[in-house]
Chain A
Protein backbone atom coordinates (compact mmCIF):
# COMPACT_ATOMS: atom_id res chain seq x y z
CA UNK A 1 0.00 0.00 0.00
CA UNK A 2 1.24 3.46 -0.83
CA UNK A 3 0.00 7.00 -0.34
CA UNK A 4 1.35 10.17 -1.93
CA UNK A 5 2.25 12.91 0.55
CA UNK A 6 2.69 16.53 -0.57
CA UNK A 7 4.76 18.71 1.76
CA UNK A 8 4.41 22.50 2.03
CA UNK A 9 7.13 24.98 1.03
CA UNK A 10 7.60 25.85 4.69
CA UNK A 11 8.96 22.31 5.29
CA UNK A 12 11.43 22.32 2.46
CA UNK A 13 14.18 24.12 4.32
CA UNK A 14 14.23 21.06 6.58
CA UNK A 15 13.73 18.39 3.87
CA UNK A 16 16.54 19.38 1.47
CA UNK A 17 13.91 20.63 -0.95
CA UNK A 18 11.85 17.43 -1.06
CA UNK A 19 8.24 18.35 -1.87
CA UNK A 20 6.65 14.95 -2.27
CA UNK A 21 7.10 11.48 -0.79
CA UNK A 22 5.51 8.06 -1.14
CA UNK A 23 4.57 6.52 2.17
CA UNK A 24 3.45 3.11 3.33
CA UNK A 25 1.96 4.51 6.55
CA UNK A 26 -1.46 3.15 7.45
CA UNK A 27 -2.68 6.16 9.40
CA UNK A 28 -1.76 9.66 10.54
CA UNK A 29 0.43 8.77 13.55
CA UNK A 30 2.43 6.35 11.40
CA UNK A 31 2.81 8.97 8.69
CA UNK A 32 4.11 11.59 11.11
CA UNK A 33 6.64 9.12 12.48
CA UNK A 34 7.74 8.21 8.98
CA UNK A 35 8.17 11.86 7.96
CA UNK A 36 10.29 12.44 11.05
CA UNK A 37 12.43 9.38 10.35
CA UNK A 38 12.99 10.43 6.75
CA UNK A 39 13.75 14.05 7.68
CA UNK A 40 15.29 14.23 11.16
CA UNK A 41 15.88 17.97 10.74
CA UNK A 42 12.15 18.49 10.53
CA UNK A 43 11.38 16.73 13.79
CA UNK A 44 12.22 19.55 16.17
CA UNK A 45 10.21 21.96 14.06
CA UNK A 46 7.23 19.64 13.62
CA UNK A 47 6.79 19.10 17.34
CA UNK A 48 6.82 21.46 20.28
CA UNK A 49 8.80 21.20 23.51
CA UNK A 50 6.36 18.62 24.83
CA UNK A 51 6.65 16.45 21.77
CA UNK A 52 3.20 17.33 20.48
CA UNK A 53 2.70 17.94 16.76
CA UNK A 54 2.25 21.68 16.36
CA UNK A 55 -1.38 22.59 16.07
CA UNK A 56 -1.04 24.90 13.11
CA UNK A 57 -0.27 21.97 10.84
CA UNK A 58 -3.29 20.58 9.00
CA UNK A 59 -3.63 17.29 7.15
CA UNK A 60 -5.97 16.68 4.23
CA UNK A 61 -6.77 13.40 2.49
CA UNK A 62 -8.02 13.72 -1.10
CA UNK A 63 -9.11 17.35 -0.52
CA UNK A 64 -10.91 16.61 2.75
CA UNK A 65 -9.74 17.73 6.18
CA UNK A 66 -8.67 14.54 7.97
CA UNK A 67 -10.58 15.70 11.07
CA UNK A 68 -13.82 15.14 9.16
CA UNK A 69 -12.68 11.60 8.30
CA UNK A 70 -11.90 10.41 11.81
CA UNK A 71 -8.46 11.99 12.21
CA UNK A 72 -6.02 9.45 13.71
CA UNK A 73 -8.56 6.67 13.32
CA UNK A 74 -8.75 7.12 9.56
CA UNK A 75 -7.07 4.23 7.71
CA UNK A 76 -5.21 5.40 4.62
CA UNK A 77 -6.26 3.68 1.41
CA UNK A 78 -3.96 2.77 -1.44
CA UNK A 79 -3.62 5.78 -3.72
CA UNK A 80 -4.73 8.36 -1.17
CA UNK A 81 -3.18 11.79 -1.62
CA UNK A 82 -2.26 13.42 1.66
CA UNK A 83 -1.68 17.19 1.80
CA UNK A 84 0.18 18.83 4.66
CA UNK A 85 -0.68 22.52 4.94
CA UNK A 86 0.12 24.92 7.78
CA UNK A 87 -2.73 27.25 8.73
CA UNK A 88 -2.33 30.63 7.09
CA UNK A 89 -3.33 32.31 10.32
CA UNK A 90 -4.41 30.93 13.63
CA UNK A 91 -5.03 27.25 13.84
CA UNK A 92 -7.08 24.67 15.57
CA UNK A 93 -7.11 21.26 17.08
CA UNK A 94 -9.91 18.75 17.26
CA UNK A 95 -11.95 18.46 20.41
CA UNK A 96 -10.77 15.74 22.74
CA UNK A 97 -7.60 14.98 20.84
CA UNK A 98 -4.86 15.19 23.44
CA UNK A 99 -2.17 15.05 20.79
CA UNK A 100 -3.14 18.58 19.86
CA UNK A 101 -4.24 19.75 23.27
CA UNK A 102 -2.58 22.90 24.57
CA UNK A 103 -0.20 22.42 27.44
CA UNK A 104 -1.06 24.33 30.58
CA UNK A 105 2.56 24.28 31.74
CA UNK A 106 4.56 25.99 29.06
CA UNK A 107 4.12 29.44 27.68
CA UNK A 108 5.19 30.57 24.23
CA UNK A 109 3.59 28.47 21.52
CA UNK A 110 0.86 26.67 23.35
CA UNK A 111 0.10 28.39 26.60
CA UNK A 112 -2.93 30.10 25.17
CA UNK A 113 -1.68 33.41 26.46
CA UNK A 114 -1.79 36.17 23.96
CA UNK A 115 0.85 38.36 25.55
CA UNK A 116 3.45 35.71 26.29
CA UNK A 117 6.90 37.28 26.28
CA UNK A 118 9.19 34.30 26.72
CA UNK A 119 9.70 33.67 23.01
Chain B
Protein backbone atom coordinates (compact mmCIF):
# COMPACT_ATOMS: atom_id res chain seq x y z
CA UNK B 1 0.00 0.00 0.00
CA UNK B 2 1.29 3.44 -0.85
CA UNK B 3 2.11 5.59 2.11
CA UNK B 4 -0.22 8.51 2.82
CA UNK B 5 2.61 11.04 2.95
CA UNK B 6 5.42 12.30 0.75
CA UNK B 7 8.02 15.05 0.62
CA UNK B 8 7.15 18.32 -1.04
CA UNK B 9 9.22 21.47 -1.60
CA UNK B 10 7.91 24.32 0.51
CA UNK B 11 8.72 26.80 -2.24
CA UNK B 12 8.45 25.29 -5.74
CA UNK B 13 6.11 22.42 -4.85
CA UNK B 14 8.20 19.64 -6.42
CA UNK B 15 7.35 16.29 -4.81
CA UNK B 16 9.71 13.49 -3.81
CA UNK B 17 9.16 9.91 -2.64
CA UNK B 18 10.02 9.30 1.01
CA UNK B 19 13.77 9.48 1.40
CA UNK B 20 16.28 11.03 3.82
CA UNK B 21 16.40 14.38 2.06
CA UNK B 22 15.72 17.90 3.26
CA UNK B 23 16.62 20.13 0.30
CA UNK B 24 14.90 20.44 -3.07
CA UNK B 25 17.33 19.72 -5.92
CA UNK B 26 15.48 22.11 -8.23
CA UNK B 27 15.41 25.30 -6.16
CA UNK B 28 17.53 24.37 -3.10
CA UNK B 29 14.65 25.21 -0.76
CA UNK B 30 13.50 23.15 2.25
CA UNK B 31 11.30 20.07 1.91
CA UNK B 32 8.32 19.34 4.10
CA UNK B 33 6.20 16.24 4.68
CA UNK B 34 2.81 16.50 3.07
CA UNK B 35 0.22 14.20 4.64
CA UNK B 36 -2.79 13.05 2.67
CA UNK B 37 -5.63 14.34 4.84
CA UNK B 38 -8.23 12.46 2.81
CA UNK B 39 -6.46 9.16 3.47
CA UNK B 40 -6.44 9.97 7.20
CA UNK B 41 -10.07 11.06 7.34
CA UNK B 42 -11.45 7.62 8.20
CA UNK B 43 -8.91 6.84 10.91
CA UNK B 44 -8.51 10.31 12.40
CA UNK B 45 -11.77 10.76 14.26
CA UNK B 46 -12.37 11.85 17.85
CA UNK B 47 -13.55 8.35 18.76
CA UNK B 48 -10.60 6.52 17.22
CA UNK B 49 -8.14 8.98 18.75
CA UNK B 50 -9.70 8.48 22.19
CA UNK B 51 -9.17 4.73 21.84
CA UNK B 52 -5.49 5.25 21.06
CA UNK B 53 -2.57 5.15 23.50
CA UNK B 54 -1.93 7.85 26.12
CA UNK B 55 0.92 9.24 24.06
CA UNK B 56 1.45 11.34 20.95
CA UNK B 57 1.02 8.15 18.93
CA UNK B 58 -2.75 8.47 19.37
CA UNK B 59 -2.36 10.82 16.37
CA UNK B 60 -0.35 8.32 14.30
CA UNK B 61 -2.65 8.64 11.29
CA UNK B 62 -1.34 12.19 10.73
CA UNK B 63 2.31 11.46 11.41
CA UNK B 64 4.78 10.32 8.73
CA UNK B 65 5.10 6.68 9.70
CA UNK B 66 3.61 3.54 8.12
CA UNK B 67 0.16 2.50 9.32
CA UNK B 68 1.55 -0.60 11.08
CA UNK B 69 4.39 1.23 12.83
CA UNK B 70 4.77 0.18 16.47
CA UNK B 71 6.40 2.97 18.51
CA UNK B 72 9.06 2.06 21.05
CA UNK B 73 8.66 5.14 23.23
CA UNK B 74 5.43 6.69 24.54
CA UNK B 75 6.39 10.37 24.20
CA UNK B 76 3.93 13.24 24.53
CA UNK B 77 0.37 13.43 25.95
CA UNK B 78 1.61 15.87 28.56
CA UNK B 79 -0.69 17.80 30.94
CA UNK B 80 -2.58 20.90 29.89
CA UNK B 81 -2.99 22.76 33.17
CA UNK B 82 -5.15 25.70 34.13
CA UNK B 83 -2.81 28.30 35.65
CA UNK B 84 -5.01 30.52 37.85
CA UNK B 85 -2.28 31.71 40.23
CA UNK B 86 0.13 32.75 37.53
CA UNK B 87 -2.83 34.25 35.67
CA UNK B 88 -3.83 36.48 38.58
CA UNK B 89 -0.21 37.70 38.90
CA UNK B 90 0.01 38.80 35.27
CA UNK B 91 -3.53 40.04 34.72
CA UNK B 92 -4.88 36.99 32.87
CA UNK B 93 -8.19 35.25 33.52
CA UNK B 94 -8.11 32.19 31.27
CA UNK B 95 -4.54 30.95 31.07
CA UNK B 96 -3.39 27.39 30.46
CA UNK B 97 0.05 25.82 30.42
CA UNK B 98 1.00 23.00 28.07
CA UNK B 99 3.57 21.33 30.23
CA UNK B 100 6.21 19.54 28.15
CA UNK B 101 8.63 19.92 31.07
CA UNK B 102 7.32 16.44 31.90
CA UNK B 103 7.42 15.00 28.39
CA UNK B 104 8.86 11.47 28.37
CA UNK B 105 11.46 10.11 28.18
CA UNK B 106 13.84 13.09 28.57
CA UNK B 107 11.66 15.97 29.84
CA UNK B 108 11.38 18.21 26.81
CA UNK B 109 9.17 18.55 23.73
CA UNK B 110 12.10 17.28 21.64
CA UNK B 111 11.06 13.77 22.63
CA UNK B 112 8.15 14.19 20.23
CA UNK B 113 10.18 15.13 17.16
CA UNK B 114 12.84 12.54 17.84
CA UNK B 115 10.23 9.77 18.08
CA UNK B 116 9.12 10.52 14.53
CA UNK B 117 12.65 11.09 13.21
CA UNK B 118 14.03 7.82 14.57
CA UNK B 119 11.02 5.87 13.31
CA UNK B 120 12.04 7.06 9.86
CA UNK B 121 15.75 6.46 10.50
CA UNK B 122 14.86 2.82 11.04
CA UNK B 123 12.66 2.70 7.96
CA UNK B 124 15.52 4.13 5.87
CA UNK B 125 17.93 1.55 7.34
CA UNK B 126 20.34 3.85 9.19
CA UNK B 127 22.34 2.14 11.94
CA UNK B 128 23.85 5.45 13.11
CA UNK B 129 21.92 8.58 13.94
CA UNK B 130 22.89 12.00 15.17
CA UNK B 131 21.98 15.64 15.55
CA UNK B 132 23.25 19.11 16.14
CA UNK B 133 21.77 20.29 19.39
CA UNK B 134 21.52 22.98 22.03
CA UNK B 135 20.93 20.21 24.56
CA UNK B 136 17.36 18.98 24.75
CA UNK B 137 17.52 17.38 21.33
CA UNK B 138 20.80 15.72 22.29
CA UNK B 139 19.14 14.16 25.35
CA UNK B 140 16.15 12.97 23.34
CA UNK B 141 18.20 11.43 20.52
CA UNK B 142 20.58 9.73 22.95
CA UNK B 143 17.80 8.15 25.02
CA UNK B 144 15.58 6.99 22.19
CA UNK B 145 18.50 5.75 20.05
CA UNK B 146 19.64 3.66 23.02
CA UNK B 147 16.19 2.11 23.25
CA UNK B 148 16.24 1.29 19.54
CA UNK B 149 19.83 0.00 19.57
CA UNK B 150 21.11 2.69 17.20
CA UNK B 151 24.62 4.17 17.34
CA UNK B 152 24.74 7.92 17.90
CA UNK B 153 26.94 10.90 17.16
CA UNK B 154 25.72 14.08 18.81
CA UNK B 155 27.33 17.45 18.20
CA UNK B 156 26.85 20.31 20.65
CA UNK B 157 28.35 23.76 21.30
CA UNK B 158 31.20 23.41 23.80
CA UNK B 159 29.60 25.77 26.36
CA UNK B 160 26.50 23.66 26.89
CA UNK B 161 25.03 23.26 30.39
CA UNK B 162 26.71 20.37 32.30
CA UNK B 163 23.36 18.69 33.02
CA UNK B 164 22.54 18.49 29.34
CA UNK B 165 25.95 16.99 28.57
CA UNK B 166 25.58 14.38 31.33
CA UNK B 167 22.01 13.63 30.24
CA UNK B 168 23.35 12.76 26.80
CA UNK B 169 26.43 10.78 27.78
CA UNK B 170 24.61 8.59 30.28
CA UNK B 171 22.79 6.86 27.42
CA UNK B 172 26.09 5.81 25.86
CA UNK B 173 25.89 8.38 23.07
CA UNK B 174 29.07 9.67 21.47
CA UNK B 175 28.98 13.37 22.33
CA UNK B 176 31.23 15.69 20.33
CA UNK B 177 31.74 19.19 21.76
CA UNK B 178 32.36 21.71 19.01
CA UNK B 179 34.37 24.86 19.57
CA UNK B 180 31.69 27.27 18.34
CA UNK B 181 28.05 28.24 18.76
CA UNK B 182 25.00 26.29 17.60
CA UNK B 183 25.10 27.82 14.14
CA UNK B 184 28.66 26.57 13.65
CA UNK B 185 27.60 23.13 14.88
CA UNK B 186 24.61 23.07 12.55
CA UNK B 187 26.66 24.02 9.51
CA UNK B 188 29.18 21.30 10.30
CA UNK B 189 26.37 18.75 10.62
CA UNK B 190 25.10 19.70 7.16
CA UNK B 191 28.55 18.79 5.81
CA UNK B 192 28.81 15.60 7.87
CA UNK B 193 25.39 14.42 6.70
CA UNK B 194 26.60 14.74 3.11
CA UNK B 195 29.79 12.80 3.83
CA UNK B 196 28.61 9.97 6.09
CA UNK B 197 25.62 7.70 5.72
CA UNK B 198 24.08 8.74 9.01
CA UNK B 199 20.57 9.80 9.84
CA UNK B 200 20.81 13.29 11.26
CA UNK B 201 17.42 13.95 12.82
CA UNK B 202 17.51 17.70 12.19
CA UNK B 203 19.38 17.62 8.88
CA UNK B 204 18.55 14.87 6.38
CA UNK B 205 15.61 13.59 8.48
CA UNK B 206 14.36 17.09 9.29
CA UNK B 207 11.12 17.00 7.26
CA UNK B 208 9.98 13.93 9.26
CA UNK B 209 11.35 15.20 12.55
CA UNK B 210 9.50 18.51 12.28
CA UNK B 211 6.12 16.78 11.90
CA UNK B 212 6.41 15.47 15.46
CA UNK B 213 5.84 19.00 16.73
CA UNK B 214 2.29 18.90 15.37
CA UNK B 215 1.33 16.65 18.25
CA UNK B 216 1.63 19.61 20.66
CA UNK B 217 -1.16 21.28 18.69
CA UNK B 218 -3.34 18.15 18.46
CA UNK B 219 -3.05 17.62 22.20
CA UNK B 220 -3.92 21.21 23.09
CA UNK B 221 -7.07 21.00 20.97
CA UNK B 222 -8.15 17.63 22.34
CA UNK B 223 -7.39 18.59 25.95
CA UNK B 224 -9.47 21.74 25.57
CA UNK B 225 -12.39 19.51 24.63
CA UNK B 226 -11.79 19.64 20.87
CA UNK B 227 -11.68 23.38 20.50
CA UNK B 228 -8.94 25.84 19.66
CA UNK B 229 -7.62 28.53 22.00
CA UNK B 230 -7.64 32.24 21.19
CA UNK B 231 -3.88 32.54 21.57
CA UNK B 232 -0.76 30.39 21.65
CA UNK B 233 2.47 31.64 23.21
CA UNK B 234 5.43 29.59 22.07
CA UNK B 235 9.20 29.79 22.52
CA UNK B 236 11.25 30.10 19.33
CA UNK B 237 14.70 28.70 18.66
CA UNK B 238 14.77 27.45 15.07
CA UNK B 239 11.14 28.57 14.75
CA UNK B 240 9.71 25.20 13.73
CA UNK B 241 7.40 24.48 16.69
CA UNK B 242 5.15 27.51 16.28
CA UNK B 243 4.63 26.79 12.56
CA UNK B 244 3.83 23.15 13.25
CA UNK B 245 1.27 23.94 15.95
CA UNK B 246 -0.38 26.17 13.38
CA UNK B 247 -0.23 23.37 10.80
CA UNK B 248 -1.79 20.98 13.33
CA UNK B 249 -4.72 23.35 13.97
CA UNK B 250 -5.27 23.75 10.22
CA UNK B 251 -5.37 19.98 9.78
CA UNK B 252 -7.87 19.59 12.62
CA UNK B 253 -10.09 22.24 11.03
CA UNK B 254 -9.79 20.59 7.60
CA UNK B 255 -10.80 17.23 9.09
CA UNK B 256 -13.74 18.78 10.93
CA UNK B 257 -12.46 17.86 14.39
CA UNK B 258 -12.60 21.43 15.65
CA UNK B 259 -14.54 24.50 14.63
CA UNK B 260 -12.74 26.93 12.40
CA UNK B 261 -11.07 29.70 14.35
CA UNK B 262 -8.31 32.23 13.78
CA UNK B 263 -5.81 31.45 16.51
CA UNK B 264 -3.27 34.19 17.17
CA UNK B 265 0.32 33.01 17.53
CA UNK B 266 2.82 34.78 19.77
CA UNK B 267 6.55 33.98 19.67
CA UNK B 268 8.99 34.27 22.57
CA UNK B 269 12.75 34.77 22.41
CA UNK B 270 15.56 35.97 24.64
CA UNK B 271 16.79 39.45 23.79
CA UNK B 272 20.32 38.04 23.57
CA UNK B 273 19.19 35.93 20.62
CA UNK B 274 16.13 37.42 19.01
CA UNK B 275 16.38 37.22 15.21
CA UNK B 276 12.75 36.10 14.77
CA UNK B 277 11.14 38.54 17.23
CA UNK B 278 13.19 41.32 15.63
CA UNK B 279 11.85 40.38 12.19
CA UNK B 280 8.28 40.38 13.52
CA UNK B 281 8.70 43.75 15.24
CA UNK B 282 10.33 45.42 12.24
CA UNK B 283 7.98 43.83 9.72
CA UNK B 284 10.90 42.37 7.76
CA UNK B 285 10.33 39.43 5.44
CA UNK B 286 13.79 38.10 6.11
CA UNK B 287 15.81 37.05 9.12
CA UNK B 288 18.98 38.89 9.96
CA UNK B 289 21.30 36.44 11.72
CA UNK B 290 22.64 37.28 15.19
CA UNK B 291 25.49 36.08 17.36
CA UNK B 292 23.70 34.65 20.42
CA UNK B 293 24.45 35.81 23.95
CA UNK B 294 21.88 34.61 26.47
CA UNK B 295 21.46 32.16 29.34
CA UNK B 296 18.59 30.62 27.36
CA UNK B 297 20.98 28.37 25.48
CA UNK B 298 18.28 26.04 24.21
CA UNK B 299 16.91 29.01 22.23
CA UNK B 300 20.33 30.34 21.19
CA UNK B 301 20.08 29.88 17.43
CA UNK B 302 21.31 33.01 15.68
CA UNK B 303 20.37 31.84 12.18
CA UNK B 304 17.04 30.07 12.76
CA UNK B 305 16.19 27.50 10.11
CA UNK B 306 12.45 28.14 10.14
CA UNK B 307 12.69 31.75 11.22
CA UNK B 308 11.09 33.24 8.15
CA UNK B 309 8.18 30.79 8.32
CA UNK B 310 7.69 31.48 12.03
CA UNK B 311 7.66 35.25 11.48
CA UNK B 312 5.12 34.83 8.67
CA UNK B 313 2.90 32.53 10.72
CA UNK B 314 2.86 35.06 13.56
CA UNK B 315 2.11 38.03 11.34
CA UNK B 316 -0.61 36.29 9.34
CA UNK B 317 -2.35 35.21 12.55
CA UNK B 318 -2.48 38.74 13.95
CA UNK B 319 -0.06 37.78 16.71
CA UNK B 320 3.20 39.31 17.85
CA UNK B 321 6.65 38.39 19.15
CA UNK B 322 8.57 39.66 22.14
CA UNK B 323 11.97 39.10 23.69
CA UNK B 324 13.11 39.38 27.31
CA UNK B 325 16.36 39.86 29.21
CA UNK B 326 18.26 37.20 31.13
CA UNK B 327 17.20 38.78 34.44
CA UNK B 328 13.55 38.54 33.43
CA UNK B 329 14.07 34.91 32.38
CA UNK B 330 15.34 33.93 35.85
CA UNK B 331 12.51 35.81 37.60
CA UNK B 332 9.95 34.11 35.37
CA UNK B 333 11.36 30.65 36.11
CA UNK B 334 10.89 31.40 39.82
CA UNK B 335 7.45 32.90 39.33
CA UNK B 336 6.15 29.90 37.39
CA UNK B 337 7.53 27.51 40.00
CA UNK B 338 6.11 29.55 42.93
CA UNK B 339 2.67 30.01 41.43
CA UNK B 340 2.00 26.80 39.53
CA UNK B 341 4.51 24.25 40.81
CA UNK B 342 6.17 23.90 37.43
CA UNK B 343 9.95 24.08 37.28
CA UNK B 344 10.97 24.95 33.76
CA UNK B 345 14.31 25.52 32.08
CA UNK B 346 15.46 28.88 30.76
CA UNK B 347 13.38 28.54 27.58
CA UNK B 348 10.26 28.26 29.75
CA UNK B 349 11.41 31.36 31.63
CA UNK B 350 11.50 33.15 28.29
CA UNK B 351 7.99 32.00 27.41
CA UNK B 352 6.56 32.89 30.81
CA UNK B 353 8.17 36.35 30.88
CA UNK B 354 7.00 37.06 27.35
CA UNK B 355 3.47 35.90 28.23
CA UNK B 356 3.42 38.36 31.14
CA UNK B 357 4.60 41.18 28.90
CA UNK B 358 2.00 40.42 26.23
CA UNK B 359 -0.76 40.83 28.84
CA UNK B 360 0.89 43.93 30.30
CA UNK B 361 1.09 45.55 26.87
CA UNK B 362 -2.47 44.63 25.97
CA UNK B 363 -1.40 42.37 23.11
CA UNK B 364 -3.41 39.60 24.77
CA UNK B 365 -6.72 40.41 26.42
CA UNK B 366 -7.39 39.20 29.96
CA UNK B 367 -10.42 37.07 29.04
CA UNK B 368 -8.80 35.35 26.04
CA UNK B 369 -8.26 31.61 26.25
CA UNK B 370 -4.48 31.50 26.05
CA UNK B 371 -2.14 28.50 26.08
CA UNK B 372 1.50 29.08 26.87
CA UNK B 373 3.89 26.30 25.86
CA UNK B 374 6.48 25.19 28.38
CA UNK B 375 8.91 23.02 26.47
CA UNK B 376 11.65 21.92 28.88
CA UNK B 377 12.47 21.00 32.47
CA UNK B 378 14.25 23.21 35.01
CA UNK B 379 16.38 20.37 36.34
CA UNK B 380 18.47 20.65 33.18
CA UNK B 381 19.45 24.30 33.67
CA UNK B 382 19.86 24.66 37.43
CA UNK B 383 23.01 26.73 36.83
CA UNK B 384 20.71 29.58 35.74
CA UNK B 385 19.58 29.81 39.37
CA UNK B 386 23.07 29.63 40.87
CA UNK B 387 23.25 32.09 43.76
CA UNK B 388 19.51 32.68 43.80
CA UNK B 389 19.04 30.90 47.14
CA UNK B 390 21.25 30.98 50.21
CA UNK B 391 22.22 27.75 51.91
CA UNK B 392 20.82 28.12 55.43
CA UNK B 393 22.58 26.98 58.59
CA UNK B 394 21.67 23.50 59.82
CA UNK B 395 19.29 23.39 62.81
CA UNK B 396 20.01 20.94 65.63
CA UNK B 397 17.41 18.14 65.84
CA UNK B 398 15.78 19.54 69.01
CA UNK B 399 12.30 21.06 69.25
CA UNK B 400 13.64 24.04 71.22
CA UNK B 401 16.17 24.79 68.48
CA UNK B 402 13.49 24.54 65.88
CA UNK B 403 11.26 26.93 67.83
CA UNK B 404 14.16 29.37 68.10
CA UNK B 405 14.70 29.03 64.36
CA UNK B 406 11.03 29.83 63.64
CA UNK B 407 11.23 32.80 66.02
CA UNK B 408 14.29 34.05 64.19
CA UNK B 409 12.52 33.68 60.85
CA UNK B 410 9.50 35.60 62.12
CA UNK B 411 11.72 38.42 63.39
CA UNK B 412 13.60 38.50 60.08
CA UNK B 413 10.33 38.69 58.22
CA UNK B 414 9.08 41.50 60.47
CA UNK B 415 12.30 43.44 59.86
CA UNK B 416 11.97 42.89 56.12
CA UNK B 417 8.31 43.90 56.10
CA UNK B 418 9.13 46.96 58.22
CA UNK B 419 11.88 47.87 55.80
CA UNK B 420 9.56 47.59 52.84
CA UNK B 421 7.03 49.89 54.53
CA UNK B 422 9.71 52.52 55.10
Taking Cβ atoms with an 8 Å cutoff, the residues of A that contact B are: 6, 8-11, 13, 45-46, 48, 54-58, 60, 63, 65, 67-68, 83, 85-95, 100-102, 108-109, 112, 114, 119
Contacts and interface: CB of A to CB of B under 8 A. Distances in A.
B170 interface: no
B28 A63 contact: no
A92 B312 CA distance: 12
B186 interface: yes
Interface size class of B (residues with CB under 8 A): 35 or more
A102 B191 contact: no
A90 B184 contact: no
A93 B288 CA distance: 7
Contacts of B275: 92
Contact of B186 (A6, A88, A108, A112): A88
B144 interface: no
Interface string B283-322: 0111111010000000000011111111011001000000
Contacts of A58: 303
Contact of B13 (A60, A92, A101, A119): A119
A11 B23 CA distance: 10
B203 interface: yes
Most-contacted residue by chain B among A54, A85, A91 (CB, 10 A): A91
A63 to B, nearest CB: 6
A87 B189 CA distance: 12
A65 B24 CA distance: 22
B30 A94 contact: no
Given A54-B27, A88-B30, A112-B312, A63 B187 contact: yes
A95 B13 contact: no
B12 A119 contact: yes
Contacts of B29: 54, 56, 86, 91, 109
A119 B24 CA distance: 13
Given A45-B28, A63-B184, A94-B286, 17 more contacts: A8-B28, A54-B28, A56-B29, A65-B183, A67-B289, A85-B187, A86-B23, A86-B28, A87-B30, A88-B203, A88-B206, A89-B206, A90-B304, A90-B305, A92-B287, A94-B288, A114-B309
Contacts of B238: 89-90
A48 B187 CA distance: 24
Contact of A92 (B26, B203, B308, B316): B308
A85 B186 CA distance: 11
A65 B29 CA distance: 18
A9 B194 contact: yes
Contact of B12 (A11, A13, A85, A109): A109
A114 B312 contact: yes
A88 B27 contact: no
Interface in B182-217: 183-184, 186-187, 190-191, 194, 202-203, 206, 210
B241 to A, nearest CB: 12
Contact of B11 (A8, A68, A94, A119): A119
A115 to B, nearest CB: 9
B11 A109 contact: yes
B274 to A, nearest CB: 14
B25 interface: yes
Nearest to A11: B28
B23 to A, nearest CB: 5
A95 B187 contact: no
Q: Which 8 A-B pairs have the closest CB atoms?
A: A119-B13, A92-B287, A89-B305, A93-B286, A90-B306, A89-B30, A86-B28, A109-B11
